[in-house]
Amino acid sequence: RVQRKIPPRNHTKPTIPMAALPLLRWGASSLHAHFSPTPPRRLFSALRQPPAAGRYEPGSRVMLKGMDYPELEKWVQSQGFRPGQAMMLWKCLYGNNVWAHCHDELAGLNKDLRKMISDHADLKALTIKDIITASDGTRKILFSLEDASVIETVVIPSARGRTTVCVSSQVGCAMNCQFCFTGRMGLRKHLSTAEIVEQAVFARKLFSDEFGTITNVVFMGMGEPLHNVDNVIKASSIMVDEQGLQFSPRKVTVSTSGLVPEIKRFLNESNCDLAVSLNATTDEVRDWIMPINRRYNLSTLLGTLREELRLRPKSIVLFEYVMLAGVNDSVDDAKRLTELVRGIACKINLISFNPHSGSQFKPTPDEKIIEFRNMLIQSGLTVMVRLSRGDDQMAACGQLGAAGDYQLPLLRVPEKFQVAL
C-alpha cells in the first residue's frame, strides 16, 4: 500500500526519490506494475534492470555484425530478452542459410524482439555498387560504405570444389608496397568489424547457389590487415564461430607485410592461419619494394616467426612471394630464400606479378617461375604456384582499388635494378 504524503503548510515542492525516476519516465502503466503488491527483492531488482521488451530506452543504434557472440548475447539480455533469443538472432545473421541483411529476413524471431531490433539496430554495413565478372569466372564486388568510400571483394571459384572469398580490411593502404596497386592509394580509413565480416556474408548469400559453399577466406584484399588488427582479429573470430559462418580456422588466412608486434599479438589471440608477404631475399631489395622492411627487417621478421611458432607447434606460416622479373627471381634468390626460412614451419606461395597502370615491374616468365619452384622443392620446401585469377578485370592479387587524384610516390629504384625495369 502506498501512502500519500500531505505537503507542509509552506507548500514546499516534495522531492522525488531517484529510484522512482525511471518508473516515471516509463509511464503510467509501468508505475502501476511496479507499485502493485510485489516482493521487495523483485521490486528493487526491477528498478536496476533495463526496461522490459517493448519499452526501450532512447540511445544510439548498434551494428549487429560488429559484435561477437558474447557481446550480442549481452546486448540482447540488456534489452530484456532471453539468451536463447540471442542465439536465434545470431543464426539469422550467420547460419541456417539466412544471412539476414534486413529486418524482414529475421524470420523465426518473436515479434517483440524483431521490433526492438528494428528500433535499435542495423543489420547492413555495406551496399553493393557493382559486380564484375572476369573471363575465368572470378567475381569482383564493389561495395559502397556509409561515407561513400568504395572497397573491393573478390570471389574465386575453383574446379576442385573450393571457393575463396578475398576480403579487404582497409580503404587503401599505408604500406606503399611498390608492386601493389592498392598501395598507391595511401590509407583512407580502417574498415569496421561489421564491414569486414559482411564481405564474407555477402559472398555466401550471393554465390552459394552458383558455386557451392564458400569454403575459404583470405585477408588479402585492400589494406594491411594487421594495421587494423583489432577489427581483423574480431572479424576472423566471428567467421570461424561454430554456430555462425562456421569457416574452419585452417581455412581463414590473414596476410601481413610484416608488422612484427601485431604478428605476435595475432599468433597469441587468433587460431586462424598467418601469411607473410616476403617478396625479397635481401634487405636492400625489400627496403625498396616493401618500405615496412626499413622498420622490421628480414632478420627481425623471421626471428620473430621462429620464436612465436615454437609456441604453436601445429601451426605453419604461408610465405607469399611475388615474382618480379630481374628483381627477385634469380638462382641466388632461390638459394637465399631456402636459407632464410630454414627452421620455420612454412609453405611457399609463388605469385606471378599482375601488371597495373603506373607499375614499373614486369612479371617473371612462367618457365622461370617453374625453375625457381623446382629449386625450392629440391631444397625440401613445400611450394605452390598461385595462378592469376580475374586479372582481365583488375581483380587479381595486387590489382584492387582506385588510385584517384592522390597517389603515394614511387620510391627510388636501386641503380643495379634500373636496367631490369
Residue 152 bears catalytic tag: yes
How far is residue 105's CA from residue 98's CA, in Å, rounded to a whole number? 7
What is the sign, positive or negative, of the torsion defined by CA atoms of 269, 274, 280, 286? Answer: negative
How far is residue 37's CA from residue 32's CA, in Å, rounded to a whole number? 10
> What are the DSSP calls for 71-97, one per residue?
HHHHHHHHTT--HHHHHHHHHHHHSTT
Is residue 376 within 8 Å of residue 342, measured between CB atoms? no
Nearest in space to 238 (alpha carbons), one of 229, 246, 230: 246
Residue 57 bears catalytic tag: no
How far is residue 280's CA from residue 277's CA, in Å, rounded to a whole number? 9
Nearest in space to 337 (alpha carbons), one of 377, 367, 365: 377
Task: Spell out the residues 6+ positions from residue 420 whose beta carbon is closer than 8 angstroms to its own.
Answer: 325, 326, 327, 362
Is residue 329 within 8 Å of residue 155, measured between CB atoms? no
- Catalytic pick from 92, 166, 272, 397? 397
Q: Are strands 62-63 and 150-156 parallel, antiparallel or unpaired?
A: unpaired
C-alpha cell at 248: 574452419
- Catalytic pick from 73, 152, 198, 320? 152
How far is residue 408's CA from residue 46's CA, in Å, rounded to a whole number? 58
Say if residue 331 is exposed, middle or buried (CB neighbours under 10 Å; 0-12, 13-18, 19+).
exposed
Which residue's C-alpha cell is 610484416?
258
Q: Give catalytic residues, as residue numbers.
A: 152, 397
